[in-house]
Amino acid sequence: MRREEDKYDALIRILRKSVPEPVDAKETGDKVIERIEKIKKKETRFVNLFDYLFGWVYNEWLRRGLVAASIFIVILFAWQQTVILKRLNTLGSQIINAGEMPVRDIPDDLSGKLLLYKLSGRKISWKKIQVSEKQLEDLIESVNEVQTKYENLIQLIEDDPELRKELEKKLTEKNRKKFNL
């Protein structure tokens, strides 16, 4: 082990003694200065371009004007925001009942009342549609009339086979059309 350490120390002494050949410091200096000059030139070019583009900001009156304009824009923005908020609040307070507008005019005749009841999806209260005794009698009478007419029609169709056939044909066509749709 001792021998390994001695070898190590001896080798380190040799390596310490072997120094690299001194580099030409003057040449290094020239190269470094040349690189620095190039960097400086680049920086100067950038500064010149920057001054050309934004040099006008150094004008005193222009700067003051810009400050005033920016303050004005900020105030305008704040005012606009306030107005918008106010309008939003006003709109928010208004109740919109689209689709549920109250029905003011209820028709007098029974068929009109029934149509209104049907169209409203049976939402209108019966209390709002008042029916008189006469209107009720008329309704019963018309229903009876329809019933009689219907029975007569059925009898007529049964008595005439040709009519029946024709009707069945029409109904079949009608059903097919419905199906196709």
Partner 1 sequence: MIDPDLIEECRKGNLHDFRKLIEASTPYAFSLSCRMLGDEEEAKDVVQDTMVTVWMKINKIRSPEVFRTWLYKIVVNKCYDRLRKRTKSQEVRADDGLWEKISNQISSEQVSELEYRETERVLNLLTERLSPVQKAVFVLGELEEMSHDEISAITGMSRSNVKASLWHARKKMGEMIKKYL
Confirm or reject binding of residue 46 to partner 1 (CB under 8 A): no
Amino acid at 92: G
CB of 29 to partner 1, least distance (A): 4
Confirm or reject binding of residue 161 to partner 1 (CB under 8 A): no
Closest CA to 130 of 109, 115, 103, 144: 109
Q: Locate 29 and state its tokens.
A: 């200096």
Which of 7-15, 45-53, 101-109, 151-159 is the region at the interface with partner 1 (rule: CB under 8 A)? 7-15
Q: Locate 28 and state its tokens.
A: 């290094």
157 with 167: CB under 8 angstroms? yes
Confirm or reject binding of residue 18 to partner 1 (CB under 8 A): yes
Which of 3-11, 54-62, 115-123, 167-175 is the region at the interface with partner 1 (rule: CB under 8 A)? 3-11
57 with 67: CB under 8 angstroms? no
Q: Which is nearer to partner 1, 15 or 98 (CB)?
A: 15
> Which residues neighbour 62 within 8 Å (Cβ) at sequence distance 6 or greater?
56
Q: Which is nearer to partner 1, 36 or 106 (CB)?
A: 36
Confirm or reject binding of residue 42 to partner 1 (CB under 8 A): no
Torsion of CA 36, 41, 43, 44, to 10 degrees: 140
Q: Which is nearer to partner 1, 28 or 120 (CB)?
A: 28
d(CA 22, CA 37): 25
Q: Which is nearer to partner 1, 17 or 178 (CB)?
A: 17
CB of 81 to partner 1, least distance (A): 46
d(CA 100, CA 124): 11
Confirm or reject binding of residue 16 to partner 1 (CB under 8 A): yes
User: In the complex, which residues of this chain contact partner 1 (CB under 8 A)?
Assistant: 4-8, 10-23, 25-26, 28-29, 31-33, 35-36, 39
